[in-house]
Structure 1
């Protein structure tokens, strides 16, 4: 089979496409013929040795895939060959096949094509877990989404609206904010042109927001945290800015507020039934037309490195997807 390989830590243009042996599933694994694979921010980190996991060389990046089950291990009961599925793989999805633990594989409904499904799992899974389990977002609360035009950001906008929240989308350009508006955002904030705190004071009547969804980090995190209201929750999703912020410890104290970590991958492993329930709800919302994943560009497998480079440069709107078949 063909696979995009990382043989040494480096930039995206150091990846190579090669023929490798097809994997053989273990008793608790399934073998998937990959049709499409989503591109995510961890892909930009894992190839440079900056992610929390460092697979042995050579490895293929690609943390999520959509495809068809080709074979199942002896202990797998809920999946069978021919099933259409999505998989949280961690890495390895920029390839024609992958063997992955059956616990990390979910059947997908007929309403999802493979390209959309490949753009669905990680972004919507992360945002659903963040807003439902970690923030306990309630109808009528105000949600601020930073980086609202990216994959997880747009998912958070849509899920926030589905949960009944008022959503303020924040991004760095009018083009990005237009995408967030199309996803259902109630209010827009351009933090390249407006003072974040002052604009949020105006939008909330000085009360502050209830929840901050923060996949950006860097210089935006502290003013966003300072814009929380009483009992606010600041969700730490990631650090797309490349900088991990350090917040004064008195800020949570003064607001009775919480900084809450979101590690969806660990949640999937530790609470698989809760993750399944999340996806069942997400699939229902998608069937109802309330979730509309935005795939702005697709790439053939041989150009997967270009997709990773584009995402690393923060040039992507919504999701980028690698078409494997």
Structure 2
């Protein structure tokens, strides 16, 4: 990795300088993604390419397994044009104060600041997300919004570009955002060429909603325990709140109160979620047509299913099926190494 030259007073850093702000417990993948994009010599694709440096404490642990030998301390973050904060091990504690201060100083010096996954907690602690739209891994979005109420947390997107501050969801979304930075700096053709060599899509459709598992109701005894399986066995029918209340032997108002206590939502929203979830299962595991799936999930028509599916998950059913379809293992004689993509670099 090429070292980033110290900033000269009054002279902005070069546009291609990138610094990784690491700390003890930084995650493997979110550290590796920017290293693959910005730390590999892609000068045959675009010249000059980026100059990447790693800033942090000596001996910082990566994923609890490896020790890191950074190029510089955190005090050198303001020398870079782009500062990337990868995910770190835990969100239960406040991020390290020296990391917060260094990231804030880099932003004040004019750096473009980027967080990957839980790195958003560092940006929020530094005050960089106040009043801004931001994201993080969907499993931690509620914690981010609760701890930093001034942040407008969007749990559904893969990344958010707010100009000089950018945030991404978890894991693979880190690569999505890194390629987005290349697209901003060098254009789509260059970003596509890098993505092709990394054997990853240059842009993924939809958002995080398609990856979120549907939470199961509380397993402890509650007044709706018998109602849930009754509903799940009748998703193909045009159920109403009155139907559910009648089956639960309670008034619609009392039903709504119990539903909110158990599921955190309304009866109709819960029912809609179950229909979408059933559609996901059928798209993943069967060859049923969209019309058939629409019928058995109570969506009525293929057009209705497509509209609700796209609105809820951010992708149409056909795209979801291509992405998540469960396929049998290929025969042993199939050459798994063949690919229709461009040749890979060594």
- The structure richer in helix per residue is 2
Please give the TM-score of this superposition, normalised by the length of structure 1. Answer: 0.28
Structure with bigger gyration radius:
2
Question: Of the two structures, which has the highest relative contact order with CA contacts closer than 8 Å and spacing of 6 or more?
Answer: 1
Please give the TM-score of this superposition, normalised by the length of structure 2. Answer: 0.27
- The structure richer in strand per residue is 1
